[in-house]
């Protein structure tokens, strides 16, 4: 019985930690046209864009505003 309670508590703590991390990195996308995409970050985070070397791809990260 004691092991079951400890396992349940560990699962709850892991779920809360995972949910908190997902909330911090939450974003929304809106397709404007077939070639344009609008990305907005939640909770007053600022989007940062980085271009990959020798590629046409970019990385958009949501970080806290400064």
The full DSSP string for 13-65 is HHHHHHHHHHHHT-EEEEE-SSS-EEEEESTTEEEEEEEPTTSS-EEEEEEE-
DSSP helix/strand/coil, 7? helix
Instruction: With a cut of 70, say whether residue 50 has pLDDT above it.
Output: yes
The answer to whether the CB of 42 falls within 8 A of the CB of 25 is no
Q: What is the pLDDT of residue 24?
A: 55
The reported pLDDT for the residue numbered 54 is 86
Q: 38-47 pLDDT, tens per residue?
A: 888 887 788 8
User: What's the pTM?
Assistant: 0.49
Residue 37 pairs in a beta bridge with: 31
* Residue pLDDT, tens place only, 7-34: 788 888 777 776 655 555 678 888 999 8
């Amino acid at each position: 019985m004691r092991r079951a309670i400890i396992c349940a508590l560990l699962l709850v703590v892991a779920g809360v930690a995972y949910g908190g991390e997902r909330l911090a990195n939450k974003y929304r996308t809106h397709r404007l046209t077939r070639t344009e995409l609008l990305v907005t970050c939640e909770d007053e985070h600022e989007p940062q864009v980085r271009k990959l070397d020798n590629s046409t791809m970019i990385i958009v990260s949501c970080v806290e505003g400064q």
